[in-house]
Chain A
Amino acid sequence: MKKLFGCILFALSLSVSAKQPLSVEQLLNFKKVGNPAVSMDGFSMVYYIETTNLEKNKGNKDLYLSYTSKEGIEPVQLTNTPDYNEFAPQFNRTGSHVYFISTESVAPQVWVMEIKTKAKNQVSSVPDGIGSFIISSDETTLYYTADVKMDKSVAEIYPDAVKSNARIIDDLMYRHWDSWDDYSYTHLFFVSVNNYIAGVSPIDILKDEPYDVENFDVNVSGKEVAYACKRLKGKEYAFSTNTEIYYYDTQSKQTRNLSQGNLGYDMNPKFSHTGKYLIWESMTKAGFESDKANIILFDFGTAKTSFLTNDFAEGASNLTWSLNDKDIYFIAPTNGTFQIYDLELSTKKIRSITAGEHDCKSIGLGAKALIYAKTTMNSPQEIYQFSFALSKESQLTFVNKKELDNVSVSKVERRIVKTTDGKEMLVWIILPPDFDPSKKYPTLLYCQGGPQSMVSCSYSFRWNFALMAANGYVVVAPNRRGLPGFGREWNDAISGDWGGQPMKDYLSAIDDAKTLPYVDGNRLGAVGASYGGYSVYWLAGNHNKRFKSFISHCGLYNLESWYPSTEEMFFAKNDIGGAHWQPEMAEAYKKFSPHNFVQKWDTPIMVIHGEKDFRVPVSEGMQAFGSAQLQNIKSRFLYFPDEGHWVLKPQNALVWHREFFRWLKETL
């Protein structure tokens, strides 16, 4: 039992000189800790740890168990399967078994493991696999999502042309993120576990309906389910955020729309433990995906809904009931961080639970504590607990501690910068390890994507500030206009003003940074992805010789071509305002589309794009690169044939990082 109770010693580091700056290879080899599933008694938790095999170009997820009551306990490995993944764990009611998804039988299926013996059995056998699942608390009913093919492919329309991969498209949403329409829809099923084993077919709650279920929750009775679904197709689907919360009774087979009348997003339903209430995240503004997410409560006793967070400035996510159903815990963006809050149901009073420069990513209920995953700018995700009795946070897992102990840490500073319109803006400054204030450092302006995603304390495996700093760069990361965590006015100010105040905010941030004694004003670069990539293209034509180098990843170069070629039109419509052929949009396109300023490009630029990026199609990157080449501007195109809006494959990530820093070395 020594191995169990061998507390991880917080040994002082061998010596300061033993620490090395973070390398790309180290970053990619850090283990990734999944969000924990906490047992109902709060005593233990199961989570996956993903290891990366660079040589095999893939990651592998195995399940681990830890106790929530004590910090520093070595986790117990539950699965050890290098060839397939286990993830999405869920405890049974007593905590003796854990259900999870495994790819052991190729298509993802639900499995169950008896923890004490580690013996496991396959529960589901859905031919094309499942997406997500919930097992009812009495373990008699399995709910899961799975794709149902409903539309005909070309080969089915023309049986004599089965080798044709042509597509016949009559409406929008023919592709999404990185995938083409596969003629199928994600449906929600339920089945009695015993019947299932006996060969009885599961019941499809959306039978014959061409719509997708987004997410769902199951009531404590195991007989009712609430799910989010946007019952729209094609163009209507593309322009709308109107998902609804539906309540389905498996006994009566009746469905009720609980969110009828709200035209914005309604997502992530959560039943209370008693089953008397249902809460969900709700946005009121139609077509605005980054509107404030209110918490809505539906009382099954009175059949009435009420808004719980009207007086709270920020949107709520990760809604979690307390064990006695008297409180709701949630996560909200807060001044450059993500914190956990407690909403007291009876008074609607909200108080913050956590504090500090971190991003809380999940919430689970421990016996006397909250259990959550979190990151900082210097550490990948680990699991923590917040003790209510001690009002104190402690770290429960130390998955990357050994590796991090050998890495020198970057100092992170908050800086408040005055914007051109007199507002105050939070700018993160990340300094290289072993920072020497008497030196001058090349400096990167980091342009955030989203565009409504806060520059927070996340630990990205690509846009990693610690790695940029470890390579000798000061990073300036402004929370420019349009980001949450600083009030609704700040968040909403970007819509319809992409190339306006947000660009001025960037320039305010970098001009302020130039006044810092350690920033080398002659060696400034600007980098970013998505909207951040758009920002880089826009700045490339409007920077007045400020920058020496640019890197734009999956950026929007030409809004005229991007608008009709992207997929989620609600986002494009809300943020841009409309199509370029609409007369009232002419001025906005003229001012905001980076391609209108390409003739002023005068600085080396690196363009990165993935072929499967359907949010910002690859042609945007190609146009930008071609325009730079045709004007004889030093430029490079890093192209990933099998990546989408992100870079997910390990070796592609390795190349991405090496090329990112090679370019900066060459040009900055």
Chain B
Amino acid sequence: MESKTIYLAYTTPDMEQLREELMFTLFKAGFKVLPMGEPDINEEVLKSKIKIDLGQSKSSIHLIGADYGQTITSEGNMSLANYQYKKAKECLQKGNNFRIFVWHPETGKQITDNKQQELINDLQNNIEANMTYTNTPSSIQLADDLRSMMEVTDKPQLQLNNTEIFFISNLIDDLTAEEITDMLSDVTQIEKLAIEQDSDTDYAELSSQQINKSKLAVVYFKDSAEWAIPFAQQIWKKIGGAAATTPILVIGDEDPNTNKSKGFKAPRVISMVMAGELIPLEIKVQYDKAVEAV
């Protein structure tokens, strides 16, 4: 199995053009894409090919449009898109860091088929670990996300401990960060990472692995907003974006005043700028919510 082989699922006619665009982008990004060509008209041959191609892939991408599309009679008239998704989920259950990306871009076309709406609801409500649901309009952005997320699986696993809160800050803000973590350490287990900007350490990799062993990740900034927001975006992608199991709290001190406009809005990300003295309390509140959600 090649680590850069992606199963780009057959899709419905309304998404065919986007599939071609994405295929081209993936090729350019260095990915090998399966399956090639049209779906076989013989259902058994088609089902067998899907199984083989998924088995050779490290991840799958499913483009979801407004149409229900081609169905498979022998599967109770399940749509081809749904069938491939279900088979991909079986690969996910087997482990081996298989990943699923569901791409549901906004096309403006109304969904008229109830079965398609049910499929979309099912996809949105059942995102699991190693699954990403995105509605990014750009295939280039999607390919970029894929690349950064798939890189994670190629990295060696670091020896990290499970923790309750993983607190990331820049060394510039270490004094106040230390005070916050010191206070929180009295009520829960906390791992702190102070990032040194000129260091050779792969902090994004380290962070993403530690986040997966934490119940809440915190990216804190006071005088380091210019570092914090891009870093938060980077690690969010690495841990699975909207499908991340661990929420990220991006929290900034309202002093300096320029911080007030800083933030990062994304699914599974809570972003806020507030009075510094209330930051420990808010982290605790968000941590409690994360624990409760688990």
Contact = CB atoms under 8 A, between A and B. Distances in A.
A69 B180 CA distance: 11
B186 A70 contact: yes
A368 B186 contact: yes
Interface in A457-485: none
Interface string A25-68: 00000000000000001111000000000000000000001010
Contact of A116 (B175, B176, B274): B274
Given A94-B288, A95-B288, A3 B187 contact: no
Contacts of A74: 277
Given A1-B253, A4-B179, A70-B182, A42 B187 contact: yes
A65 B289 CA distance: 21
Interface in A281-323: none
Contact of B278 (A5, A94, A116): A116
Which of B222, B274, B281 has the most A CB atoms < 10 Å from its CB? B281
Nearest to B280: A67
A1 B282 contact: no
A67 B278 contact: no
Interface string B3-40: 00000000000000000000000000000000000000
Interface in A109-153: 115-117
Contacts, number: 70
Q: Secondary structure at chain B's binding surface: helix, strand, loop or mixed?
A: helix
Nearest to A117: B274
A345 interface: no
A205 interface: no
Contacts of B158: none
Contacts of A76: 275, 277-278
Interface in A64-84: 65, 67, 69-70, 73-74, 76
Interface string B168-210: 0000000110010011101100000000000000000000000
B288 A41 contact: yes
Contact of B183 (A65, A70, A96, A117): A70
B187 A5 contact: no
A94 B277 contact: no
A10 to B, nearest CB: 18
Interface in A1-18: 1, 3-5
A94 B285 CA distance: 6
Interface string A90-119: 000011100000000000000000011100
A92 to B, nearest CB: 10
Nearest to B279: A1
Given A1-B255, A76-B275, A95-B284, A69 B187 contact: yes
A44 B186 contact: no
Nearest to A95: B285
B285 A96 contact: yes
A1 B176 contact: yes
Interface in B248-282: 253, 255, 272, 274-282
A41 B279 CA distance: 16
Interface of A is mostly: loop
Nearest to A76: B277
Contacts of B282: 96, 115-116
A622 interface: no
B278 A115 contact: yes
Interface in B133-188: 175-176, 179, 182-184, 186-187
A416 to B, nearest CB: 42
A117 B279 CA distance: 11
A1 B220 CA distance: 13
Interface in A338-371: 367-368
Residue in B274, B282, B284 whose Cβ sees the most chain A Cβ within 10 Å:
B284
Nearest to B178: A5
Nearest to A5: B179
A73 B183 CA distance: 10
A116 B182 CA distance: 20
Nearest to B177: A1
A95 B281 contact: yes
Contacts of A368: 186-187
A41 B253 contact: no
Contacts of B253: 1
Contacts of A367: 186-187
A67 B179 CA distance: 12
A272 to B, nearest CB: 21
B179 A115 contact: no
Nearest to A96: B285
Interface in A354-406: 367-368
B281 A43 contact: yes
B187 A41 contact: yes
Contacts of B279: 1
Interface in B222-257: 222, 253, 255
A70 B181 CA distance: 12
A522 to B, nearest CB: 57
Nearest to B173: A1
B179 A43 contact: no
Contacts of A4: 176, 179, 276-277
Given A41-B284, A94-B289, A116-B272, A69 B183 contact: yes
B212 to A, nearest CB: 25
A1 B253 CA distance: 8
A613 B255 CA distance: 53
Contacts of B289: 94
Contacts of A44: 281, 284
Nearest to B287: A41
Contacts of B275: 76, 116
- Interface-centre pick from A3, A69, A117 (highest chain B CB count, 10 A): A69
Nearest to B272: A116
Contacts of B175: 5
Contact of B176 (A5, A43, A94): A5
- Counting from the closest, the 5 A-B pairs by CB-CB distance are A1-B276, A69-B186, A4-B277, A367-B187, A1-B176
14 contacts: A1-B176, A3-B276, A3-B277, A5-B176, A5-B179, A43-B187, A43-B281, A67-B281, A94-B288, A94-B289, A96-B282, A115-B281, A367-B186, A367-B187
